Amino acid sequence: MSNETKLYKVIRYVFLVMASIFVIVPLIPLLFMAFKTGAEYSSTSVLQPPASFLNFYNFSYAIRVGKLGKAFLYTAIILTISLVIQVTMTCMVAYVLHRFDFMFKKVVMTMFTLTMFIPVVATQNLIFRMMYAVKLVNTMWSVIILYMGVGIVGIYIMLNQLDSISKEIDEAALIDGASYFYTFTHIVFPLMKPACTTMIIINGIGLYNDFYVPNLYLNRDVQTFTVALYKFFGSMSTPFEIVAAAIIIGMIPILIVFIFLQKYIYNGLAGSVKM
């Protein structure tokens, strides 16, 4: 091994260790806070460990008072319905855009791309009024409808995947008498599973962490996790030790997803960004 390679390796590891520290260090006070009593939190440094790591009071309080169980249920329902619809629709749109030539195809693509330049916040006043007019505010359906739309990033992920699926497969199926719908549902769609997994993970985490939309549309009886968490914030003071416990509870589903799906995450991300 040459000296140059060794130096490169050292720099790489130093950089990676520093990056890890940047990510992990903010989580340590959060973990400490979650196990501290309120009195301990206000009288000790955030970097000082708690007196006991067996004080689960903040966790039980957050679940009970913040109704986090109910919030998780609503979050799961909203994410499941919106992601299933979003992924299915995105696959169908991408399939049509990739496999068929039609008038205004470029216009359609441009329109999808243009949506990226419009900030979500800019259109919310109008969209809120529309949702309000059809009486969907304060129901899960308002958020589901907003979440299930097809986005350009998803389309590009799917288009990249379709590049690797040979057109001959479609043609063979068509020659054998399969309809376009059958070809899509029974041949192409199953082959797009890696891209679908990537999209579910990327969008799922984004939607799970989203605060703006659910706080705008669901601020009463139906609450997602982020909105339930926000309810702990008072206009003047906030019990941060309880908020810390609630945040850690909120990280658990993401961790579980990561642990069980990490193979797909790495494969999917590598595949989706391959140019």
By C-beta, is 1 or 275 nearer to other proteins?
275
Question: Mask 242-261, x = binds other proteins (CB under 8 A)?
Answer: x-------------------
Question: Toward other proteins, which CB reaches closer, 39 or 103?
Answer: 39
Binding mask 220-239 for other proteins (x = CB under 8 A): x---------xx-xxxxxxx
**DSSP for the chain?**
--HHHHHHHHHHHHHHHHHHHHHHTTHHHHHHHHTS-HHHHHHS-TTSPPS-TT--HHHHHHHHHTTHHHHHHHHHHHHHHHHHHHHHHHHHHHHHHHH---TTHHHHHHHHHHGGGS-HHHHHHHHHHHHHHTT-TTSHHHHHHHHSS--HHHHHHHHHHHHTS-HHHHHHHHHTT--HHHHIIIIIHHHTHHHHHHHHHHHHHHHHH--HHHHHH--SSS--HHHHHHTT--SS---HHHHHHHHHHHHHHHHHHHHHHHHHHHHHHHHHH--
Single out the residue of 86, 160, 161, 198 in contact with other proteins (rule: CB under 8 A): 160
If one asks whether residue 202 binds other proteins (CB under 8 A), the answer comes out as: no
111 contacts other proteins (rule: CB under 8 A): no
How many residues contact other proteins, by CB under 8 A?
47
Binding mask 13-42 for other proteins (x = CB under 8 A): ------------------------xxxxxx
Instruction: Give the x-and-dash track for 172-191 against other proteins (CB under 8 A).
Output: --------------------
Q: Residue 170 or residue 241: which is nearer to other proteins going by CB? A: 241
Residue placing its CB nearer to other proteins in the complex, 78 or 94: 94
> Of residues 40-59, which lie at the interface with other proteins (CB under 8 A)?
40-43, 46, 55, 57-58
Cα–Cα distances (Å) from 46 to 8, 9, 34, 58, in that order, read 36, 35, 11, 16
State the residues that interact with other proteins by CB under 8 A: 37-43, 46, 55, 57-58, 61, 65, 109, 113, 116-117, 125, 128-129, 132, 137-138, 152-153, 156, 159-160, 163, 215-216, 219-220, 230-231, 233-242, 273, 275
